[in-house]
A and B are shown apart, each in its own frame.
Chain A
């Protein structure tokens, strides 16, 4: 299979060269012929990977062959998964099919898991035994969890009982059942890892929506927020104000409180931090995070042994010109958050760069990306943080554009409408 791909690519490149010399003479010089039949393999179909698959096909007029390898049947969105936890939305709202990527754009979508990358041969192998040759490989593997400092939570049995729900899917459904099954007067805790983790405001949005749920349905229940960080990591003032105004009786926020261990006896769960032990009915433990396993094992250059180092002009690995990394797996540029929106933007920079590279064109030297990040503090009240990042040739990274971006002046209902529109439009931009 892989040999065929390689051969057809070489064939197409030769013919493309001939065409450039004959049929296309007289046209504006493009700096290179079309990327005929080149093969891009994308690992991971989240906000970044699925967007990239679509845009590569769309912008290359379907000339580049794209294989998207994703372990799950469907795209399940983390944004709005907090609504599912408290029963305000169903799983079907955040679950979307990859079918348009195949039928409309001709992406080869494969349900499988990549086990190894052979950078010398430029192939990937999947756990089901398939092998694919690539011209360009893109790792959009998101995050994986690091349980090494979480005591008993390191064992699989415990992980089956204590949810992270920080990758939307089955864990979201289980945590929703646990939360909705809590008795009035019951206590829940959320533990937040040290930054950097996926979606900095996400845990605080989750806390807000659970607090609203308790306030409406279980007014005697309490939510402890055990934060390993010294303060709220995003939209701090806005979250603090919302919690003071709305959830004084529900939320107890405890900073500098890193979860160290967990014990379960009967129906009681003990969340153990450095200085304290609290008994709760439900614990949502969000573990420390790092780049996806495949990023760590692929031989590309890492930062702190956790994240992929990229050149921010085109998100190419700094030690492998044929591999790009997008989304949460990257070691971020200054002030750049790990967000779904950012991954969607990374994907477009890389789609343009890969098409240019395979066509022999110069890559855009001043790419720009934006982040629009909404958080709900109640079913009908939201707020945002935004930023714009532009590649700076002097510092060789993306820098936040001065004076651009910022926070909401206040939480309100209008922003809740925008937040919903944001989600529905970005899902469509990724998959439709």
Chain B
């Protein structure tokens, strides 16, 4: 410790790191389970980063209730709801994965 704090620059660095690390710790990024985020990321090419598309023809997902997104995805997968591409894509995910995706987007503000 003493070696690390012999210079003012290092103390500043420590404070900087402390702030970032605390933020990092509370953000959930450092915890290992990012399953929902990683799965949701597969949707973001068409539906925008974090479910906020700039061209909303594909559908905005951010902030929609989890149950609503899940119902939509399940209905698409079972072709109860007609689609061009989403029936094919939702078949690539199991129900647990669809739940995680729905939960992730519902929590985006």
Q: Which residues of A contact B (CB under 8 A)?
A: 11-12, 14-16, 18-19, 23-24, 27-28, 30-34, 36, 54-55, 58-61, 63, 341, 344-345, 348-349, 352, 355-356, 359, 361-362, 364, 367-370, 372, 384, 386-388, 390, 401, 403-406, 408-409, 414-415, 417-418, 420-422, 424-426, 428-429, 432
Contact B22 A23 (CB under 8 A): yes
B67-109 interface bits toward A, Cβ cutoff 8 Å, 1 = contact, 0 = none:
0000000000000000011001101110001000000000000
Are B17 and A341 neighbours in the complex by a CB distance under 8 Å?
no
- Asked if residues B38 and A348 are in contact (CB atoms below 8 Å), the reply is yes
- CB-CB contacts below 8 Å: B12-57 with A: 13-14, 17-18, 20-25, 27, 29-32, 34-35, 37-39, 41-42, 44-49, 53-57
User: Within the complex, what minimum Cβ distance (angstroms) separates A340 from chain B?
Assistant: 9
B58 touches A406 (CB 8 A): no
Q: Separation in Å of the B20 CB from the closest CB of chain A?
A: 6
* CB <8 Å contact, A15 and B17: yes
**A197 to B22 Cα, complex, angstroms:** 46
Is A405 within 8 A of B32, CB to CB? no
CB-based nearest B residue for A406: B88
Leading 8 A-B pairs by shortest Cβ distance: A388-B92, A404-B92, A421-B57, A404-B91, A421-B55, A424-B55, A30-B30, A348-B41
Contacts of B89 in A (CB 8 A): 370, 372, 386, 388, 404-405
Within the complex, what minimum Cβ distance (angstroms) separates A194 from chain B? 28
Residue among A28, A384, A390 making CB contact with B92, cutoff 8 Å: A390
Contact between B54 and A424 (Cβ–Cβ < 8 Å)?
yes
B4 cross-chain contacts in A, Cβ below 8 A: 11, 14-15
**A28 engages B31 (CB within 8 Å):** yes
* Count of B interface residues, CB-CB < 8 Å: 45
Closest Cβ–Cβ distance, residue B8 to chain A (whole Å): 15
Q: Evaluate contact between B21 and A24: CB separation under 8 angstroms.
A: yes
Shortest C-beta distance, A148 to chain B (Å), equals 35
Inter-subunit contact A23/B21 (CB<8 Å): yes
Our pick among A19, A356, A417, A428 for the contact of B48 (Cβ within 8 Å) is A428
Chain B residues within 8 Å of A, Cβ to Cβ: 1, 4, 10, 13-14, 17-18, 20-25, 27, 29-32, 34-35, 37-39, 41-42, 44-49, 53-58, 84-85, 88-89, 91-93, 97
Q: Are B48 and A429 in contact (CB under 8 A)?
A: yes
Complex Cα distance, B89 from A372, in Å, reads: 9
- What residue of chain A has the Cβ atom nearest to residue B10's Cβ? A11
- Please, which residues of chain B bring their CB within 8 A of the CB of A362? 32
Q: List 23 A-B contacts (CB under 8 A).
A: A12-B13, A15-B17, A16-B21, A24-B25, A31-B32, A34-B20, A348-B38, A361-B30, A368-B93, A370-B42, A370-B45, A386-B85, A388-B93, A401-B92, A405-B89, A405-B91, A417-B57, A421-B56, A425-B47, A428-B48, A429-B45, A429-B48, A432-B49
- Is the Cβ of A341 less than 8 Å from the Cβ of B84? no
CA distance A387 to B46 in the complex (A): 14
Using Cβ atoms and an 8 Å threshold, which residues of chain B touch A421? 46, 53, 55-58
The reply to whether A59 and B29 form a contact with Cβ atoms under 8 Å apart is yes
B53 to chain A: closest residue by CB: A425
Q: Is the CB of B38 within 8 A of A429?
A: no
Closest B-chain residue to A422, C-beta based? B46
In the assembled complex, the Cα of A390 lies from the Cα of B49 at a distance in Å of 21
**Nearest B residue to A349, CB-CB:** B38
Chain B residues near A356 (CB-CB < 8 A): 32
Docked complex Cα distance between A414 and B92 (Å): 23
User: Among the listed B25, B44, B55, B84, which residue makes an inter-chain contact with A415, where contact means beta carbons less than 8 Å apart?
Assistant: B84
**Known interface pairs A348-B38, A405-B89; A61-B31 also in contact (CB < 8 Å):** no
Q: How far is the CA of A101 from the CA of B70 in the complex (A)?
A: 32
Are A369's CB and B17's CB within 8 A? Answer: no
Instruction: List 19 extra interface pairs beyond A61-B24, A384-B84, A424-B55, CB under 8 A.
Output: A11-B4, A15-B4, A30-B32, A36-B21, A54-B49, A58-B49, A59-B29, A60-B29, A356-B32, A370-B45, A370-B89, A384-B85, A390-B92, A405-B89, A418-B58, A421-B53, A422-B46, A425-B45, A429-B44
- Inter-subunit contact B55/A420 (CB<8 Å): yes
Residues in B neighbouring A428, C-beta threshold 8 A: 48-49, 53-54
Closest chain B CB from A146 CB (angstroms): 29
Q: Smallest CB-CB separation from A62: which chain B residue?
A: B20
Contact B91 A388 (CB under 8 A): yes
